[in-house]
Structure 1
Amino acid sequence: MGNVLKSLITFDTSKVDPMKGVRQGLLLIFPALLGYFLGNFALGLFVSTGTLAHIYVFKSSPRSMIRTVILCSLSFAVCMILGTLTVTEPILYGVTLLLVTVIPYYIFSALKIAGPSSTFFLVTFCLPSNLPIAPNEALYRGLAILVGGAIATLVVILTILFQKQKIENRAINLDFNMIKELMHNYNDVDKFKESAKTAVTQFKNSDELLITATAGVNQKLSPRFQRLLLLHTSAQGLYSELLELHEKGIRPIPDELVEMMDVAIRNAYRTTASREKWTKEVHVDEAFDDLLQYILKIDEITNLDSSQIEHEASVRKPLYSQRIIHNLTLDSIVFRNTLIYAVIMAVAIFISLAFNIQKSYWIPLTAHTVLLGMTTRRMLDRSVARGLGTILGTLVLSAILYFNPHLIIAVIIMGIAAMVTETFVGSNYAFAVIFITIQVILLNGLASDNLSISIAYTRIFDVLIGIAIAVVGILLINRQTASAMLPRTIAEVVRKEAVIFQYLFSENHYQDDLRERDESLALSVKMSNMIQINNSASDELFSNQEVIRYYYPSIFALEEINFMLMRVMQDHQRQRILDQQMGEYLVTFENLAKHFELQSRLEINELFDLPQYNYIKSALMRLQNNCVHTRKDIDDVENGVAIKA
């Protein structure tokens, strides 16, 4: 009980977003009040509902933010139309509701889009159940939702225009802050290793952000954005060179290079007139020459004119459709979770409709919010948070409705609840649920023109049913799904890295841009799947967490190899290796894959150095050593469990 109460008062201050909360509160209040004063409150409420698309917009590239709010607005309009047309046919209504929740859930999961998933798709679809039956008004209601979406889009555009720092610039800043930290810590081996643990993740996040920012762009990118791409690529190259120097044990880095790097980073964000002039002569050993060239490259990029930038910059395009297709397999944790989600949601929808429960959407809505956790541990946390938050929310709302507030007051309270929800939902879910409950109940109460106290307290029973369905479903179907998939998934990543390694270093000198794009995408999907499965396995209540933790060093090593392979792919002048040496590396990759797949013992293969990018060899050696010790520790743990049994 102490942990439950603690969850209500513990906030992650870094995730509090008051400005988004204020925007969402005003977006809900003003259209509804305008409709009221113009004598058409229902229209105003539809427009307010359309503004919920703003909830799905998080800090990302401007293009991505605008794309998200537009697509959500269109989807909400479709949901409203479908809900209006099918509300009188329970079977068709239930099947359509299942599709409306499952399809967005899968897409959001496959594309790793943050936010409430299909929550407000469900709310919008079910809103007509509180409205007068009027199939002939379906298009009218859908258009009103689109108007709300247009208002939300306008607010997003204004938010982007008034941003102090664009998100792409912030990503590059984080890249170079990481490089600065690595440079300053390089001469201390332990500090460098500690800093390097988060470097791959940082560069991967920046890479994804820059790629998504170019989605749908057919014309040339702006010189500003292209400069950012070049700076990002240079930062990755510099990190790669630091890893190579670290692997060779070449230390210390000359102080002049560290100082020069600091100046280059500062100059990267200054105008020409305010840039610092580097006047010192730099003489370094040959071993540091490549590092010096990367630093000089950064300085050169800051001084490139537009024509040179257009010639040099290039970026991969995001392949959203391919990611969705690649995850349509039982080997994907996203697809498996979606199937489990669909089964449990189907049960929740069937029970709510079969027993003709009043306001039946509350049961599937509750089951949905609990299922967003999707692992036993997180699911139990969310079920407690959902249950406690709903009870507190309904009690607060019951107290408010006891005084029969005027419709205007109810609208303002709904807006305030939305404001608090969006401000704190990322910081403290249990606390935010209190206000989510108030917001959604009031929205549906206003739609049905029923603000009596009964619309609040009767929801507690529905919520408890929804929680029970979700919890029982997860405990029956998804007890240890992720932990069982993890070893085989790691093996798939190892084999895919072996394929790319052979392509990149073969004496056959392969060069196929389309093949490289497809292979890098396939590896990216498998890497993402592996990391998601590992995170899910770590949150499973019935898995052996000691065994799961032993996989982490191997996963980290595979992430490093992935990063280096992507760097090699960009180097068209790379050196190749002989077939005999290639065979040794490919055998090592396959031995590692078999080790994970069959849980077999592993004999360490000593590998020859690579002529370039020798950090790949080092990572493979560490991976082998990790596996040997991992297998031994796992055997000890499992034997200990068997003895206790």
Structure 2
Amino acid sequence: MNETVKSPSIFKQALLVDKKPFPWLKAFLAGLASGIPILVLLLLGNLEYGLIAALGGFTYLYVFPIPYAQLAKKLAWVVLGITLAVFLGTILAPYPIISAITMGVIGATAIFLFGAFRFIGPSAIFFVLIFAMTTGMPIAPEEAFIRAGLVLMSGALSWCIAMVGWFFNPHGPEKRAVKSTYIALAQLLEVLGTDKMNDAQHQVMNSIKDTSQTLASAYLSWHESKLYNQLYVLNNIANKMYVSIVEGNNIQHSKELAKTLRMIARVLDSKDLESASKLIQLPQIDRPNEHTLLLINELSNAKGYLSDSNTTIKELHFATPNVKRVLIGAFDKNSIILINALRFGIFTFIAAFIAYEFHFNRSFWVPLSCAAVMSGITVVATFHRAIQRSLGTIFGILFASVILAFHPSGYFIALFVALFTFVTELFIVKNYGLAALFFTPNALIMAEAGTVGDYSFSYFATTRLIDVFIGVAIGLIGVWVIGRKSASSRLPHLISKTLRSQAQVFYVVFSNKKIYKEYGKNIEFNKMDTNIKNLKTVYDAATGEIPKDKKASEYYWPIIHSIQEISFLLEKSSRSKTHKIEEEQLAKILLAIEGMAYAAERKENIPICDIPLVNSAPGIKETLEQLQKNLIKKSTSPLSK
């Protein structure tokens, strides 16, 4: 008799500690970025300005292992955003209602942009924090330019610290991305023919796509890099190997081939790729079949490119939509990104309005706590954040109250800010609650240390706790009212919309229409990419809804997987010169896709249609047939409800 494994409660899940390693170097540099501005201005005799300048140090918290070309642009915008938040917070401080509206706009804009461009990082939280903290400073609109200038210089320091790694390992993020793809390919070969194959196949497909995007964001037209060229070619080879594995599905000696892929992945960790590549051993297989032979040839090509540092590329092809298309796609009425941004902005404004209207002491703690809670990606994550924020804040406030009761000054303040920033960044990868335990006293010290007031234990322990609990409650209400079922209810329509956009791409590719080399000009491809991103985002959000419908999650997952696979194959076919098929075959495929789109949106059953074989892309027939089967209405599926 099988026993049902009971999932841990939301409270227990919120207390779980992640097993990710501590980011020691990043935490240390984050501490420097926040501590140095205070120390410098302290030496110049102005602690208050030092605490303001330290706000620019939050820029470093947006540093993540992405290509330096992308990181430089991202951090530059973060610095400008933080500077603008300080400037607006200073000049709008005398006008509480306008400040509340502006706080909501800042939060919504940051959430929208981070979601649309899929930037990793703390998103809106620090922009809201900095604006809110600035409105809580002594009212002095005349100092707007001075405060903004201090933060701009401090942010520039953080930018410089973040870019130091470029001098030592300029293509480190790209190498890690390509390495992860080769490891994923090895894992796929190791589970061929097992029930784990579908998940491994999906992992490879996502890895190749992510690596392609990483390489695209790292490209600099004015700077040619031989290592970059090698990585670009290796990713293209990985793409070809994946297609060979999936289309063949009968690879011989797959375990031996997987070992070679892992060797290539290890070589990418080396500083001297040419020397390390000599250790790669190609398997000797007697009478390999067609797809196995193709795979061996590609492995040989990969070894050859690793040993040749003079790799040149005549033409680079990046399947990356332009900024305009990304923003238009995110503005779609069914986009969960837009919905989340509006929810975030509205309830941040409500929290700020309540705090200002009821004249809370240091009122910015209410909207800040609300924003922190609503930063959760899913509803479940939001409840986790609420629990973690509450517990971390309770103990963090007690900690800060004790410190501030001793009236720290001068170098001790600089030390505390640097230390707490260091520990916060160290524990943020483990658990948000642990990070809040140190982030809270850090923000309190920065906000309160430069002011004159009563630092009694009871003052902070009561006032701040009330502010936090009110903010957390408003955030939870916002998520529950607006976001509880906003994702799952949109899945059928988005599946239908995505399939129809894929039909348009199918027509363009296989009727031999013109396909532009500049990916952003292909409207059909851009629509398809936008719809798939929206669909995946909505599905991820739906899996975190309360109550969670496990049957719906299990039903929709293979459908979304097949849709992503079709997109992958269409992008590959668009680069082939032999992709035209007969009009009758094309019509049958388009009719089948329209039938599936109709069934998905109307939640109706459809008969299985015959899918013609596309000789130049045989994997499309198999994937479309699988999608048809996945869409069939069953009594146990959510479509029958």
TM-score under structure 2 length normalisation: 0.90
- Tell me how many residue pairs correspond in the alignment: 627
**Structure 1: gaps (5+ residues):** 639-645
User: Which residue of the partner structure matches residue 228 of structure 1?
Assistant: 231
1:224-623 to 2 correspondences below 5 Å: 224-246=227-249, 250-253=250-253, 271-273=273-275, 275-276=277-278, 284-286=288-290, 288-302=292-306, 306=310, 309-316=312-319, 319-373=322-376, 375-450=378-453, 452-453=455-456, 454-506=459-511, 508-514=512-518, 517-542=522-547, 544-571=549-576, 573-623=577-627
Shift of 1:633: 1.7
Deviations 1:403-456 (A, max 9, x none): 333443233223222111111112201221111211111110024344713245
In 2: Cα distance, 1:635 partner to 1:72 partner: 43
Check the 8 A contact 1:394/1:457 in 2, yes or no: no
2:3 maps to: none
Q: Is 1:140 equivalent to 2:143 in the alignment?
A: no
Tell me the alpha carbon deviations over residues 355-383 of structure 1, each in whole angstroms, 9 at most, x when there is no partner. 22221111111111111126432222211
Change (3 A) 1:201 1:15: farther
1:48-74 CA deviation, whole Å, 9 max, x = no partner? 211110011111111122222221111
Q: Deviations over 1:288-312 (max 9, x none)?
A: 4433443343244335564x61325
1:464 Cα deviation after fit? 1.3
Instruction: Please identify, of 512-521 and 264-273, the stretch whose mean Cα deviation from structure 2 is larger.
Output: 264-273
SS in 2 for 1:347: helix
Give the Å deviation of 1:98.
2.2
Which stretch has the larger CA shift, 533-542 or 404-413?
Answer: 404-413
1:467 CA displacement: 1.4
Structure 1: distance between partners of 2:11 and 2:484? 26
Match of 2:128 in 1: 122
8 A Cα contact 1:171 1:206, kept in partner: yes
Amino acid at match of 1:132: P
- Distance change (3 Å), C-alpha of 1:3 and 1:32: farther
Indicate which of 127, 135, 151 corresponds to 2:157: 151
The question of whether the paired residues in 2 share the 8 Å contact of 1:561 and 1:619 is answered with: yes
What is the alpha-carbon root mean square deviation over aligned residues?
A: 2.8
Deviation at 1:593, TM superposition (A): 0.6
Instruction: Choose from 80, 83, 103 the match for 2:86.
Output: 80
Letter in 1 for 2:561: F
- How do 1:22-33 residues align onto structure 2 when only pairs under 5 Å count? 22-33=28-39
State the AA in 2 paired with 1:155: I
Which secondary structure state, in structure 2, belongs to the residue aligned with residue 524 of structure 1? helix
Say if 1:183 and 1:258, in contact at 8 Å, map to a contact too: yes
| 2:190–2:255 contact (8 Å) kept in structure 1 | no
Q: State the 1:614 CA deviation.
A: 1.2
Give the superposition deviation at 1:134.
2.1
CA shift in 2, pair 1:473/1:276, >3 Å: closer
| From 161, 176, 182, the counterpart of 1:176 | 182
- Partner Cα distance (1:378, 1:157) in 2: 32
**Contact 1:226/1:314 (CA < 8 Å) preserved in 2?**
no
1:190 and 1:480, CA in 2 relative to 1: closer, same or farther beyond 3 A? closer
* Aligned twin of 2:5: none
Are 1:99 and 2:101 matched, yes or no? no
Give distance in 2, aligned partners of 1:504 and 1:219: 32
Deviations 1:76-131 (A, max 9, x none): 11111111111112233222222222211211111121222121112222233343
The alpha-carbon distance between structure 1 residues 229 and 357, as it changes in their structure 2 partners (threshold 3 A), is same
Deviations 1:123-159 (A, max 9, x none): 2222333433222221111111111011101211223
1:15, CA displacement in angstroms? 5.4
In structure 2, relative to structure 1, the CA distance for the partners of 1:631 and 1:451 (3 Å cut) is farther
8 Å contact from structure 2 (residues 107, 341) kept in 1: no
Distance 1:477 1:635 in 2: 22
When structure 1 is superposed on structure 2, of 36-45 and 592-601 the one drifting more is 36-45
The residue that corresponds to 2:95 in the other structure is 89
Paired with 1:288 and 1:281, the residues of 2 have a C-alpha distance of 9
Instruction: For residues 319-366 of structure 1, give each alpha carbon's deviation from its aligned partner in whole angstroms, at most 9, with x where no partner exists.
Output: 234312221121111111212222212211221122222211111111
Superimposed CA distance per residue, residues 233-259 of structure 1 (whole angstroms, 9 cap, x where no aligned partner): 11011101111101xxx4535888667
* Partner secondary structure for residue 550 of structure 1: helix
The 1-side partners of 2:155 and 2:348 are apart by 27
TM-score using structure 1 length: 0.90
Deviations 1:165-192 (A, max 9, x none): 7010111111122223334544x45454
Cα distance in 2 between the residues matched to 1:35 and 1:176: 49
Q: Is 2:83–2:148's contact at 8 Å kept on the other side of the alignment?
A: yes
Match of 1:643 in 2: none
SS at match of 2:545: coil
Q: Cα gap change, 1:29/1:544 in structure 2, threshold over 3 Å: closer, same or farther? A: same
Distance 1:164 1:450, change over 3 A: farther
Secondary structure in 2 aligned to 1:551?
helix
**2:56/2:151 contact within 8 Å kept:** yes
Aligned equivalents of 2:121 and 2:244: distance in 1? 37
Q: Distance between the aligned counterparts of 2:514 and 2:634, measured in 1?
A: 37
Following the alignment from structure 1 to structure 2, what is the Cα–Cα distance between the partners of residues 17 and 287?
A: 42
The one-letter code matched in structure 1 to 2:54 is: S
Q: 1:15 to 1:482 in 2, by over 3 A?
A: farther
Question: Conserved in 1, the CA contact under 8 Å of 2:379 and 2:546?
Answer: yes
Q: Provide, for residues 209-250 of structure 1, a one-character-per-residue CA deviation record: whole Å limited to 9, x for no partner.
A: 112223xx342542221221111011011101111101xxx4
CA contact (8 A) 1:15 1:424 kept: no
Distance in 2 (alpha carbons) for counterparts of 1:254 and 1:50: 52
Alpha-carbon contact 1:227-1:313 (below 8 Å) kept: no
Name the CA shift for 1:39/1:636 in 2 (closer, same or farther; >3 Å).
closer
What is the rounded CA distance, in whole Å, between the counterparts of 2:285 and 2:341 in structure 1? 60
8 A contact 1:480–1:543 mirrored in 2: no
Task: Specify every segment of 5 or more residues in structure 2 that has no aligned partner in the other structure, as ranges.
Answer: 1-7
